[in-house]
Amino acid sequence: MAGTLAPSAVRPRLRGRFGRPLYLYAERCSSTQDLLPSDAPEGALALTEEQTQGRGRRGRDWQGAVGKGLLFSLCLRPQVETARLASFTPVAAEAIVQAIASFGGQATVKHPNDVLIAGRKVAGILAEASAGRVALGVGVNVDQQAGDLPERPVFPASSLTLELGCSIDRVELLVCILEQLERHYELWLAAPSV
């Protein structure tokens, strides 16, 4: 598969601690949230080319054309009060905005968990917390064409290819997002609780 997210393509390009020591890959799975084991260490990463039951907030599904999106979950184990965990979702969305900016895109966060370009949704985040861990699920529409995307009357779905007018290397995008997530996560952890 061209542009695969398999370990042999991704591992050599990782630049931070996220994605190490555990990196799981499946060509197809129900959801990367389910692929990530409950005992995974912080920074563990689960990636797939296709989710059959991808989900978003409030039980919404996340559809994606095979091999054209970036679908992953990241294990975080923040030592913070449970009440503070919800504040990380918009921080994670901002990290994705910053990663997209490195490819020339001007994205914004639609609070708390969507990333938009020109009012069109290109990414979403789902943070599920339990037993001292957060499984941070991320879906980014990367190379989809109009026919690959679901119909949405409000905040219609789009992709980075459609919005930026060029294809983006999914592995490089993943590496940039992980770097930004790690940086934003460390800043969030260091910030005083309010």
Domain positions in the chain? 17-190
pLDDT score, position 192: 77
How much is the pTM? 0.91
pLDDT band at 61; cut points 50, 70, 90: low
pLDDT score, position 178: 97
CA nearest 55: which of 70, 34, 76, 38? 34
Task: Give how far the C-alpha of residue 39 lies from the chain's centroid of Cα atoms, to the nearest Å.
Answer: 20
Return all residues near 8 (Cβ < 8 A) that are at least 6 apart: none
Q: What is the distance between the alpha carbons of residues 75 and 66, in angstroms, rounded to a whole number?
A: 23
pLDDT score, position 184: 97
Does the domain made of 17-190 have the CATH classification 3.50.50.60? Answer: no
